[in-house]
Every structure is written in structure tokens, then in C-alpha cells.
Amino acid sequence: MIEEPDVHTLTGPYVLDALPEDERAQFEAHLAGCDFCSTEVAELREAAVKLATQVETPPPPALKTNVMAAIEHVRQVPPLVHGSEPAPRRRFTRRSLLALAAAALVVAGAGGVAVDQYRDKNDAIQANDRVSAVLAQPDVRTVHGSVAGGGQATIAMSPGADAAVVVLRDLPKLPSDRTWQLWMIDPGKTAHSVGLAGGDLTQVLNGSVTGMAAFGLTIEPSGGSPKPTLPTAVTIPMT
């Protein structure tokens, strides 16, 4: 039996389908009556969908032709002899399947373009893995804030992993010479830059969350600023 308040920390593992069957059933029963967890699960699922679209790439036109041609040279597996043990089935993880898809693009694509696609896809996969690792932590908790002018900011943080995922969505569009800058604010009210954003994003923050009191978002000149321009678009307490 999952104890309160531990059940509230399971939103990340639940979205990633990382809960054992019994805990999943208990959490879903809890989810039916908990608005907080329902909202958090919906937002984390939205983040997961955005991550999936980052690695989605239309297959090159020649891919099907190349695959069909290659099939002609694939040796057929011999029939299973009575009494022999069947060969163990290989289990493919999502990462290995994505890596195979990326490799297929390199083989089927054209020169440098395919290599660039492969590198971009690998970068996206690695970013997804970093986000998933934070969301799967047992101590992850989530805080939210409304951005001035529209939009939402969500921070999913794990003190144990000393890491946090930021989800920014529906932000107002900025002029080309302005950017969103992300800050971690310590108890002494000193702001530490942890990244820039051109708009909506989902990523692991570039900095420690240990001992930090709040997350802040400001509008800055292109390239960012050494100190935040006040007022902040949103400040979210983290303690």
C-alpha cells in the first residue's frame, strides 16, 4: 500500500509507465479523486508529447525502396526442430529503436544532410533521456506559476538528483531582439542564470537546485543579461 503523502510523488513515474502493476492501480485510484495529481499528470504528459515531436522526422523518400531491396538479401530463419529450445527473443528499448531509426536515416539519406539529421536526433534523444531521468525520481515535486502577459511555467524538481525540469508553454511572442531568460534565485535573493528560451520549451535546467528559493523568468536583450531585468515575468517559490 502506498502511503500518503508519498502517492503525490508518483506522477512522474506514472507518466513514464515506470510503476509496478500494483502501485499503478493504487495510484490510478488515488488519481480519480486528486485534482492536484490529475493536473500534474496532464502537464507532464503534455511535456512528454512535446519531447516525442522533437525526435519525429519524416522518412527519406528512398527509405522504403532501400528496405524492400534489402529484404531480398535477408536469409530466412530455418524452421524450429522439434525438441530444440527456441532462441531467446531480443527486447528492444525505446532508445535502441530510435537509434536504429536514426541509423537508417544515415544509410538512406544523402551525405551531410543525413549526418546532420542523425546528430540532431541523437541530441534530442539525449535531452529526452535527461528529462525522463529527472521526472522518474521518487522525490520529484512540481510547482506552477502564471507568466505575466500569458502562459504558464512549471518546474518539476528532484532535490535528491539536484536537478529540475522546466516546462514553458503558451508564452507571449517576443520581438526578435528579446529573449526569455531563466534564473534560479538563492535565499539571499541573488539570481543565477540557468538558460535562455526563445519560446515554449521543455528541458533540464542548466544549474543546481540545491538550496535555491525560487525560479524566475525575465525578458532580456538577445543573448541574455548578467542580472535579471525587473520586474520578473513570473517568480515561483521552490520551498
pLDDT exceeds 70 at position 123: no
Q: What integer best gives the mean pLDDT of the chain?
A: 75
pLDDT exceeds 80 at position 153: yes
Residue 167: partners with Cβ closer than 8 Å, 6 or more residues away: 43, 46, 47, 152, 153, 154, 155, 156, 201, 202
Reading the block at residue 173, the C-alpha cell is 511572442
* pLDDT score, position 10: 78
Q: What is the DSSP letter of 129?
A: H
pLDDT exceeds 60 at position 108: no
What is the reported pTM? 0.54
Reading the block at residue 153, the C-alpha cell is 511555467
* pLDDT score, position 97: 41
The CATH number of the domain covering residues in 141-237: 2.60.40
In terms of Cβ atoms closer than 10 Å to its own Cβ (0-12, 13-18, 19+), residue 166 is buried
* pLDDT score, position 3: 53
Angle at 57 between CA 95 and CA 152, to 5 degrees: 80
Reading the block at residue 62, the C-alpha cell is 528512398
Given a contact cutoff of 8 angstroms between Cβ atoms, the answer to whether 142 and 41 are in contact is no
Q: Among 32-41, 111-120, 170-179, 211-220, which stretch is predicted with the lowest mean pLDDT?
A: 111-120
* pLDDT score, position 58: 58
Q: How confident is the model at residue 92 (pLDDT cuts 50, 70, 90)?
A: very low
Residues, the chain, total?
239
Place of cell 524450429: 80
CA dist 8 and 31 (Å) reads 9
169 forms bridges with which residues in the sheet? Answer: 152
CA dist 102 and 122 (Å) reads 8
Angle at 236 between CA 231 and CA 239, to 5 degrees: 135
Place of cell 538577445: 222
Q: Which fold has domain 6-54?
A: Arc Repressor Mutant, subunit A (1.10.10)
pLDDT (mean) for 79-88: 50
Given a contact cutoff of 8 angstroms between Cβ atoms, the answer to whether 233 and 178 are in contact is no
Q: How many CB atoms lie within 10 A of CB 6?
A: 10
* pLDDT score, position 172: 92
CA dist 28 and 37 (Å) reads 10
Given a contact cutoff of 8 angstroms between Cβ atoms, the answer to whether 26 and 151 are in contact is no
Give Dmax (Cα) for the chain: 77
* pLDDT score, position 186: 94
Question: Could you tell me what percent of the chain has a pLDDT over 70?
Answer: 63
Three-class SS state of 177: coil
